[in-house]
Amino acid sequence: DAMVIQNPRYQVTQFGKPVTLSCSQTLNHNVMYWYQQKSSQAPKLLFHYYDKDFNNEADTPDNFQSRRPNTSFCFLDIRSPGLGDAAMYLCATSRSLLAQSAYNEQFFGPGTRLTVL
Amino acid sequence: DAKTTQPNSMESNEEEPVHLPCNHSTISGTDYIHWYRQLPSQGPEYVIHGLTSNVNNRMASLAIAEDRKSSTLILHRATLRDAAVYYCIPQTGANNLFFGTGTRLTVIP
């Protein structure tokens, strides 16, 4: 019963070559999030969508963009990957955007590990 | 966002209870306390959350101090599958998770 699916699980790209990571969900949740997790560090929120409304974290580099064409899919685009962008990228969903909601549990996918050569 | 302090690592013997502490002395009155864990090579998963009262679910219990400046996640019987990094995350307003350094739990067979 896959709920949050990330493809591919492993992605290799070249320095400066645009890359797109994908996430899909079968939960019909309103909110989708992208996190970056570098080696031995905690996940760091990049941005989220509430339906079609996009919210970028203040310190997310401009190099990172996102698209959400429909409820089920969300994409992370890295326009010009640098060596420092090598990381695990985690997609998550939740029904609610409010921390105090009973439906605020976030469901994470398995992640895509990005290698930049 | 409230700052959290957790031990870097803890060990537990299998089948024994584990108490994972978290200090969040700057928490605001409306911050919920969320716990997530991340098993090796997996995305994080929700464990439990609460506001003021102690909370129980099938995975764990959450004990929240009366002054709300600290909380303790309790795993009643640790199994090998519970070996993970445990994150304590105060949240208010938007449901965005700002992960701290967490506690790496090792379960000894």
Amino acid found at A66: S
What pLDDT does residue A58 have? Answer: 86
What pLDDT does residue A15 have? Answer: 96
Q: Which of residues 19-78 of A touch B (CB under 8 A)?
A: 31, 33, 35, 42-45, 48, 55, 57
Q: Is the pLDDT of residue A26 over 90?
A: yes
Q: Is the pLDDT of residue B4 over 80?
A: yes
The partner residue sitting opposite B97, judged by closest CB among A45, A55, A111, is A45
Residues of B in contact with A105 (CB under 8 A): 46, 49
Q: What is the mean pLDDT of chain A?
A: 93
The whole-angstrom distance between B31's CA and the closest CA on chain A is 8
Q: What residues are paired with A9 via a beta bridge? A: none
Q: Is the pLDDT of residue A62 over 70?
A: yes
What pLDDT does residue B28 have? Answer: 80
Mean pLDDT of B77-104: 89
The whole-angstrom distance between A89's CA and the closest CA on chain B is 9
Which secondary-structure segment (H or E) carries B50? strand B45-50
Residues of A in contact with B8 (CB under 8 A): none
Cβ separation B95–A97 shorter than 8 A: yes
Number of C-alpha atoms within 13 angstroms, CB side, residue A37?
28
Q: What residues are paired with B107 via a beta bridge? A: B12
Determine phi and psi for A85, rounding to 5 degrees: -90, 0
> pLDDT tens across B6-60, in order?
999 999 999 999 999 999 988 887 888 999 999 998 999 999 999 888 999 999 9
Percent of the residues in chain A that have a pLDDT greater than 70, as a whole number: 95
Query: By CA distance, what is A113's nearest residue in B?
Result: B41
pLDDT band per the 50, 70, 90 thresholds, residue B98 = confident
In this structure, are residues A26 and A3 in contact, taking their beta carbons and an 8 Å threshold?
A: yes
Cβ separation B95–A110 shorter than 8 A: no
Amino acid found at B90: P
